[in-house]
Chain A
Amino acid sequence: TQLLEQSPQFLSIQEGENLTVYCNSSSVFSSLQWYRQEPGEGPVLLVTVVTGGEVKKLKRLTFQFGDARKDSSLHITAAQPGDTGLYLCGRPGANNLFFGTGTRLTVIP
């Protein structure tokens, strides 16, 4: 099993602060996805990164795929309470998706 380790496991910040969460592995991936899971909901896809070094922006969220395609980061600028949730990275396998351990983010108003 190619493990995806996410850090930190928990993060609690004040509204308006910036934060970065990480997804790391010892294996090279063809692509990597980020999902957000809000309380009481299923995960929802935020972005897919494919190329080493790729940077994608989604409003206040910036996603980066490492040059070696073994790691990825998610940076949130000026966090808002609506950003609260479990952030999951996922690697596509053979016709399916395997998830990391998750980072649980709480943004305090």
Chain B
Amino acid sequence: DAGVTQSPTHLIKTRGQQVTLRCSPKSGHDTVSWYQQALGQGPQFIFQYYEEEERQRGNFPDRFSGHQFPNYSSELNVNALLLGDSALYLCASSRRLFTGELFFGEGSRLTVL
């Protein structure tokens, strides 16, 4: 039973560039949530996708956008990268929005220089 998979695991970008991160949810899950985790902090909720629509959004600017595909996989896009966007980006999957447990991937560590 495949768990949540994310790619790439590490990447380095420069200020002003754009980045796309990818996530495949756990088998049987249809909902994907994205979190940003700064070093030493708890994960901060970015947004959630269900039925190919953004259902909820945290306090993040429009530079952060996403997409969900018919196979439930998802992408997180960040435009005009800032140094402060350097973080671990975690993808979490669940069923029918949220039924009590989130399953997380190992994350994509983004460094912005």
Q: Which residues of A contact B (CB under 8 A)?
A: 1, 4, 6, 9, 33, 40-45, 48, 86, 88, 92-102, 104
Contacts A40-B106, A100-B42, A104-B40 given; does A95 touch B100 at CB 8 Å: no
Whether the pair B101, A45 counts as a contact (CB closer than 8 A) is: yes
Identify the interface centre among A43, A48, A92, A104: most chain B CB within 10 Å of its CB: A43
The smallest beta-carbon distance between A49 and chain B, in angstroms, is 12
Instruction: Please state if A88 and B43 are interface contacts (CB–CB under 8 Å).
Output: yes
Which 4 pairs between the two chains have the least Cβ-Cβ distance? A42-B104, A95-B97, A99-B42, A102-B42
Q: How long is the Cα–Cα vector from A65 to B105 in the complex, in angstroms?
A: 28
For chain B, residues 50 to 67, give those with C-beta under 8 angstroms from any C-beta of chain A. Answer: 55-56, 59
Q: Which residues of B contact A45 (CB under 8 A)?
A: 101-102
With the chains together, A97 CA to B35 CA distance in Å?
Answer: 10
Closest Cβ–Cβ distance, residue B45 to chain A (whole Å): 6
Q: Which residues of B contact A101 (CB under 8 A)?
A: 41-42
Contacts of A102 in B (CB 8 A): 40-42
Name the distance in Å between B12's Cβ and chain A's nearest Cβ. 18
Residues of B within 8 A of A97 (CB): 33, 45, 92, 98, 102
Query: Does B68 lie at the interface of the complex (its beta carbon under 8 Å from any beta carbon of A)?
Result: no
Closest residue on chain B to residue A94 by CB atoms: B56
How many Å lie between the Cα of A100 and that of B45 in the bound state? 11
| A42 touching B56, Cβ below 8 Å | no
Tell me if B42 and A92 are in contact (CB < 8 A): no
Of the candidates B98, B105, B106, the one whose C-beta lies within 8 Å of that of A96 is B98
